[in-house]
Amino acid sequence: MGAIRSTPNVQPHHRHWRARGTVATVVLGLSISLLACQHNAQGDRITVASAGRIASLDPAQASTYGTLQLLSALGDTLYRRDSDGTLRPQLAAQPPQLSDGGLTVTIPLRRDVLFHDGSRFNAEAMAFSLRRFLQIGTQSYVVGDRIRAIETPEPYVLRLRLNRPSSSLESLLTSQYLTPISPKAYLNHQDRFLNNNFVGTGPYRLSSYTATQQRLVPFRRYWGPAPVNGGLDLINLSNSTALFGALRSGEVDVLLSDSLDEDQRLALDRRAEQGQLQASAGPALQIGYVTLLSNHPPLQQQLVRQGLAHSLDRELISARVSHHQRQPLRSLVPPSLRGGKPQPWPVYNPQRARTLLSQAGYCQGKRLQLPFTYRSNVPSDRLMALTWQAQLNRDLADCVALQLEGVESTTVYRHLGEGAFKAVMLDWGGSYPDPEAYLTPLLSCTQSTGNVCEEGEAVISGSFWTRPGLEQTLRRSDSLLGQERLKLLLQIDRDAAEGAAYLPVWLVTPKAWAQTRLAPLEFDGSGQLQLARLREKR
């Protein structure tokens, strides 16, 4: 009571406290302004932002886009795909030489290459790196059963003995997973990962590393063209808004788009159109697709799957989900790897879809209730599911209805091979730019009965679909070269379209945005941004 009534006594103190508060606010404001006005001198170093932590720098452990992009700056591979798709020797001195009916691959190596620790790159070092990857590499299955033995007949000649002829091997040798590492530096890590360091042969060497920030400096004894910038500061932010904001505020020079929200991609593109930023795109190598469970009702009927294939309005989905940024796709193989050949999956045709579903026994008072799972932690998947559901309600309401279910991606992948999902939205990016890297992981089947795959990649992919002779055709395609091989691979793609156990939906293009003071950005044929070529305009 006393306190409430005693305001006249307190008033001067109140003013006193208020004055102190005002002074404190002014001091705080001035401090922040002072801090804000200080800029870091960066010289000609370039700051590049991307999403997600870099948990390990070991090529044997790498799997994320960000890690592979980083490895492309710190290391070299034997071969590299140019932006026009041409295979170019990098650490190899010449193209691979085939002999023994394609069972032996001989690769002459460059003699002027040093690792960042000063040791020399040679055939032993390359063999060490390959053997280590095959032994402990988490993605070693990409090599599969191809390599029988790795030999070093001469100090600068690597020889691979194969179990079967493999024309996709040359593309495989462009993969960042097979980046050579210094045997000297990895002596104590032959059978375990070295997460916080990397000693390779690339144009940059690692100066400092944390999972969220990496500092790269040019490697002065690099065998190839020196980087055109003074070094790279890579920063990994945990969400799309932060990435977007970092570029807009000028805090970073370059932004890689691997997990930027669609709206923000669009906003950045619009700023690029207005000349406030610049945008660049690489070859689209990541596909989004729906897997249909083909060995259980109701989707064991090919007619139903084909009906669904005709029902998918990819143009609408692309527009609603990504403002047309995701290119509609009607093939399991990205167009850049198809040699311009037409895509085999049917275009959107609701009348044909109705006919096929009617033939399967639906539409005449019987509605197909199809559970459709999407990865709840992937926003574009959810939008795709909602759009397709609405589109089917509009076009084929009496025939089919989707029942949506969001499941976290870890759980999806855990149960995919158990046939837990009737229909599920997924994505896939080949480990190297070759049609085989898309078809085999989705279609390969080592044991089957009729059209049902019982063991193999088709099981792991959740479709359980195969076709008699498909595995042999896949194998045979890997023994052919050039147009003959491409023709066979596209035939496999057509077979898969007819089977309709997968519904390709869209293609994701790797993009990067940069401040306008930088020279145009360049991607290579594997979809990696050429970090060593980042520079300010002269």
Partner 1 sequence: MARGRELLRYCATRLALAPVMLWLIATLVFLLLRVAPGDPVDAVLGSRAPADAKALLRTRLGLDQPLLQQYEDFITGLLHGDLGSALINQEPVGQIIAQALPASLELSLTALLVAAVSGLAVGFSGIARPEGKLDLAGRFYGIGTYALPPFWVAMLVQLLFAVILGWLPVGGRFPPSLVPPSGSGFLILDSLMSGDWVALNGALRHLVLPACTLGLLLSGVFTNALRLNLRRALRSDYVEAARSRGLSETQVVLRHALPNAMLPVLTIAGITVASLIGGALLIEVTFSWPGIALRLQESINQRDYPVVQGIVVVVAALVVMVSVVVDLLVALLDPRVRY
Residue nearer to partner 1 on the CB measure, 154 or 263: 263
Name the segment binding partner 1 (CB under 8 A); options: 279-287, 351-359, 391-399, 407-415.
407-415
Q: Does 418 bind partner 1 (CB under 8 A)?
A: no
Tell me the β-bridge partners of 348.
none
Q: How far apart are CA 7 and CA 130, in angstroms?
A: 82
Residue nearer to partner 1 on the CB measure, 168 or 509: 168
Per the listing, tokens 């370039």 go with 46
* DSSP code string of 85-98: S-EEESSBSS--EE
Q: Does 251 bind partner 1 (CB under 8 A)?
A: yes
Q: Does 55 bind partner 1 (CB under 8 A)?
A: yes
Q: Does 61 bind partner 1 (CB under 8 A)?
A: yes
Q: Does 237 bind partner 1 (CB under 8 A)?
A: yes
Q: Does 416 bind partner 1 (CB under 8 A)?
A: yes
Nearest to 217 by CA among 157, 346, 208: 208
Residue nearer to partner 1 on the CB measure, 214 or 391: 214
267 CB neighbour count, 10 Å cutoff: 15
Q: Quickly count helices (H) and strands (E) in the chain.
A: 16, 21
CB of 239 to partner 1, least distance (A): 6
Residue nearer to partner 1 on the CB measure, 57 or 123: 57
CB of 179 to partner 1, least distance (A): 17
Q: Does 38 bind partner 1 (CB under 8 A)?
A: yes
CA atoms within 13 A on the CB side of 91: 30
Q: Which of 19, 111, 131, 141 binds partner 1 (CB under 8 A)?
A: 141
Q: Does 45 bind partner 1 (CB under 8 A)?
A: yes
Angle at 39 between CA 33 and CA 41, to 5 degrees: 165
CB of 395 to partner 1, least distance (A): 33
Q: Does 14 bind partner 1 (CB under 8 A)?
A: yes
Residue nearer to partner 1 on the CB measure, 140 or 300: 140
Q: How far apart are CA 472 and CA 253, in angstroms?
A: 49
CB of 95 to partner 1, least distance (A): 29
Q: How far apart are CA 509 and CA 257, in angstroms?
A: 9
Q: How far apart are CA 397 and CA 362, in angstroms?
A: 11
Note the helical H segments in 165-261: 169-172, 240-248
221 CB neighbour count, 10 Å cutoff: 14
Q: Does 7 bind partner 1 (CB under 8 A)?
A: yes
Q: How far apart are CA 355 and CA 353, in angstroms?
A: 5
Q: Does 417 bind partner 1 (CB under 8 A)?
A: yes
Which residues, numbered 147-206, are part of the site for partner 1 (CB under 8 A)?
Answer: 192-193, 195
Q: Which of 104, 106, 119, 138 binds partner 1 (CB under 8 A)?
A: 138
Which residues, numbered 434-493, are part of the site for partner 1 (CB under 8 A)?
Answer: 441, 457, 460
Q: How far apart are CA 460 and CA 447, in angstroms?
A: 13
Q: Which of 86, 249, 274, 472 binds partner 1 (CB under 8 A)?
A: 249
Which residues, numbered 317-346, are part of the site for partner 1 (CB under 8 A)?
Answer: none
CB of 213 to partner 1, least distance (A): 5
Q: Does 56 bind partner 1 (CB under 8 A)?
A: yes
Q: Which of 94, 97, 364, 411 binds partner 1 (CB under 8 A)?
A: 411
Q: Does 289 bind partner 1 (CB under 8 A)?
A: no
Q: How far apart are CA 328 and CA 334, in angstroms?
A: 11
Name the segment binding partner 1 (CB under 8 A); options: 104-112, 247-255, 332-340, 514-522.
247-255
Name the segment binding partner 1 (CB under 8 A); options: 49-57, 178-186, 323-331, 465-473.
49-57
Q: How far apart are CA 456 and CA 445, in angstroms?
A: 4
356 CB neighbour count, 10 Å cutoff: 26
Q: Does 517 bind partner 1 (CB under 8 A)?
A: no
Name the segment binding partner 1 (CB under 8 A); options: 116-124, 147-155, 236-244, 306-314.
236-244
Residue nearer to partner 1 on the CB measure, 253 or 493: 253
Tell me the β-bridge partners of 513.
255, 279
Exposed e or buried b per residue across 369-382, where buried means at least 16 C-beta atoms within 10 angstroms of its C-beta: ebebbbbbebbbbb
Q: Does 236 bind partner 1 (CB under 8 A)?
A: yes
Tell me the β-bridge partners of 147.
162
The dihedrals phi and psi of 80, each to the nearest 5 degrees, come to: -145, 145
What is residue 54's three-state secondary structure?
coil
Residue nearer to partner 1 on the CB measure, 50 or 295: 50
- How far apart are the two ends of the chain, measured CA to CA in Å? 75
